[in-house]
Amino acid sequence: MNPWKGLRGLPREVWLVCASTLVNRLGTMALPFLVLYLTEARRWTPEQAAFGMMVYGTGALTAGPFAGRLADRLGHVRVLKASLWISGALMLVLPFAGPRPLLFVLIFLWAAFTQAFWPSAMALLADLAAPEQRKAVYALHRLSVNLGMAVGPALGGVIAHHSYTWVFWTDGLSTLAGAVLLGLLFTATPRPAAPQGHAPGASPWRDRRLAFLLLPFIPMLMVFFQIEGTLPLWVVRDLGLGSRFYGLLFTVNTLLIVALEVALNLAMARWSHGRQLFLGSLFLAFGFGLTAWATGHATLILTTMIWTFGEMTLFPAMSDAVATLAPPDRRGEYMGLLSLCFAIGLALGPWLGVLAYAKAGPRALWIATFGVSLAAGLMLARFRTPAAQKAPGPTG
């Protein structure tokens, strides 16, 4: 039996959004090389480059909720297209910015319009798919992201060897290509649907069920983003296994996602959100917790596989849970808050992890990740969404 057969009935527009994301992500390389660009091409000090990254993070943090709300008012497709067109154009002009304040402004705007893509895309996918399809749809969208990210940064390393300017131009052109694809093939932009079964104008900031869902998810993300902070310290510096092996762990992660995530979420399509969220949390808890005793190539590959199963199980279920909670005319704003959680987790997780790593030691940190993930998972296991309603038509 073909485990992918559940994707055959997906709307054409779902495939188009995922294809546009893939085209965009195939060229993703500017952000991974931003610090190197600022220090090597611009001759900034590491402290100045770190401030540039902070400016990017600030733009990403502030954009999500506002972009989601704007998408609900103007239409998800309109904001999606605007995000791609403007962020792509900004990357084309950014290498020409001379004065440092101007460059900071462009970095902030680039981050903000890039971040605006996610709540619009996630809300649009929720509108396009039937409730029982959404977990698989979000897994398919993550597949397009990961396929692109498997190519983009690696290609960026080759291009950066010759020209950092072309790193930004290639990323910008791929983003504009994604915008062209949407613009040519996705032309219907009706107004968002009226709320069904929800209080008119209900704000996600006042939704206690959403708070109960997202608050424990933030520490889960802080654990997950140790892959950006303490994991390379453990693998490269302390265990001495080298940066190539650290990169291999992400190859393992990507291959598993490409091979299994969609089929896995199709198999769990009718699971309750609480059950799937708890299972994903358990995988993350054991994957990162056992890293304390993973000191060789084989054991680190094994723990990477475990936390990758957590990622594949947890993230699509979380996106679907938020989409199920959201009134149809507020999905962008709800997804904006989910996007904000990811930005907070990325901003705080590596920073606090490195501090704990330095003060308490690596094994204490990895054991703490087990406790944090398990506690958050037990809270998420109690989560119940209301009965899923029939998905409305596209909301532009």
pLDDT (tens digit, 0 to 9) for every residue of the chain, 396 residues total?
455 666 777 888 888 888 888 887 777 778 777 877 888 888 888 778 778 877 887 888 888 778 888 878 888 888 888 999 999 999 999 999 988 899 999 999 998 898 888 888 888 888 888 887 888 888 888 888 888 877 777 777 788 778 889 989 998 998 998 888 887 766 654 444 444 444 455 678 888 899 999 999 999 999 998 887 788 889 888 898 887 788 788 788 888 998 888 889 888 988 999 999 999 999 999 999 999 999 999 999 999 999 999 999 999 999 999 988 988 888 888 888 998 898 888 878 888 888 888 889 999 999 999 999 999 999 999 998 765 444 444 444
Give pLDDT, residue 285.
97
Q: Which residue, among 252, 244, 217, 189, has the nearest Cα to 342 in the 3D structure? A: 217
DSSP designation for 96? G
Residues 343 and 336: their CA atoms lie apart, in Å, by 10
- Domain 204-386 CATH superfamily: MFS general substrate transporter like domains (1.20.1250.20)
Give pLDDT, residue 190.
45
Give pLDDT, residue 35.
74
Residues 307 and 252: their CA atoms lie apart, in Å, by 11
Where are the domains positioned within the chain?
12-131+144-192, 204-386
Instruction: Check the CA dihedral 359-361-362-363 and report its sign.
Output: negative
pTM, whole model, 2 decimals?
0.79
Cα separation of the two ends of the chain? 35
Identical fold between 12-131+144-192 and 204-386:
yes
Residues 42 and 57: their CA atoms lie apart, in Å, by 20
Give 189: exposed, middle or buried? Use CB within 10 Å, 0-12, 13-18, 19+: middle
Give 89: exposed, middle or buried? Use CB within 10 Å, 0-12, 13-18, 19+: middle
Residues 220 and 227: their CA atoms lie apart, in Å, by 13
With contact defined as beta carbons under 8 Å apart, do 246 and 230 qualify? no
CATH number of 12-131+144-192, picked from 1.10.287.130, 3.10.290.10, 1.20.1250.20, 3.40.120.10: 1.20.1250.20
Residues 233 and 240: their CA atoms lie apart, in Å, by 9
Residues 376 and 73: their CA atoms lie apart, in Å, by 33
